[in-house]
Amino acid sequence: MSEPAIEFTGVSRWYGDTVSLADVTFTIDGGVVGLLGHNGAGKSTTLKLCAGFSTPSTGSVRIFGANPRRSPEIYRRLGMVPDHSPPWPFLTARQVVQLSARLHKIRDSSDAAEQALATVDLVESADRPVGEFSHGMRQRVKLAQALVHGPDLLLLDEPLNGLDPTQRGHVIDLLTRLGVEGRTVLVSSHVLHEVERMAPRVLVLVNGHLVAEGSTDGIRRLISERPRRVLVTADGNSRALARELLDTPAVDAVRLNDGQVEIETSDPSRLSRELPVAAVRAQTLLHEVRPVGDDLESVYAYLHERARGQAR
């Protein structure tokens, strides 16, 4: 039986007092997998550990069954696109990709480089120094050097950063195709809708903890079903509105705050239907209805709390 592409077992990584990754366990083998999380969630640390650029403080990381730090031969099957770190600015794109092909011991490095450059649509600019490139073009050079040896495992740290919509679509199509071919692609992002366009499976990291794992649809459902808070500004009779809302099935809790009504609900769509009815019964007008804590950070915080609750 072949070894899985990536296997994390109880992996933690800390730097001084800062915990970057806490007791993370997962296995990935084949297809595109999204690594989702806010900035500082531990996505880059996870990818660095996969790529053998860092050593776990505890636990073990196995890439195709081997320790990537001790087995340089693993890199014949692994390609890496780091988030920062553009390639050498004085080399042309073609030189960068050819160098990568040679270092990966590809027999016909020139031909392989041409194919990789064509894949990322960079043939026409291939003889310009990387230092003259825009951020998006540098991203494509990084992608080409990672693809040139046809790796079985591709690690990409925020690969869509700096790309225009057309280029994003192109890269997403490319990664989707690689996944369909049976390669393993682990791609980090902090934007769910970006990840769900290419990854049928997602790992969600919050503050170094793996808080959710599963199908992208499942994670989307989990997020949409989380309790929401809505702040309502009514015309005068807020107390009556709050009383009416307490008898409304879609409402879990109501709080009066400086004349505003704060509602907690597990069913926002039902609330949107029941709130106007409650307002009519309370004989008040609604001035403003505003969701609270609907930003991505709040979504991650919810997933974190939920994971801690399940752990308890």
Which residues bind to other proteins, rule: CB under 8 A?
Answer: 48, 51-55, 69-70, 72-76, 78-80, 82, 84-88, 90-91, 96, 99-100, 102-105, 145
Considering the complex, what minimum distance in angstroms separates the CB of residue 82 from other proteins? 5
Considering the complex, what minimum distance in angstroms separates the CB of residue 227 from other proteins? 40
Considering the complex, what minimum distance in angstroms separates the CB of residue 89 from other proteins? 9
- Residue nearer to other proteins on the CB measure, 103 or 253: 103
Helix (H), strand (E) at residue 257: strand 251-257
Kindly give the pairing relationship between strand 6-15 and strand 18-28.
Answer: antiparallel
The Cα 170–Cα 159 span in angstroms is: 12
- Give the residue among 208, 188, 204 at the shortest CA–CA distance from 57: 208
- Residue nearer to other proteins on the CB measure, 144 or 282: 144
- Residue nearer to other proteins on the CB measure, 76 or 128: 76
Considering the complex, what minimum distance in angstroms separates the CB of residue 26 from other proteins? 22
- Residue nearer to other proteins on the CB measure, 114 or 157: 157
Considering the complex, what minimum distance in angstroms separates the CB of residue 14 from other proteins? 12
3-state secondary structure of 183: coil
The Cα 53–Cα 68 span in angstroms is: 8
What lies within 8 Å, CB to CB, of 280 at 6+ separation is: none
Kindly give the pairing relationship between strand 31-37 and strand 201-206.
Answer: parallel
- Residue nearer to other proteins on the CB measure, 85 or 310: 85
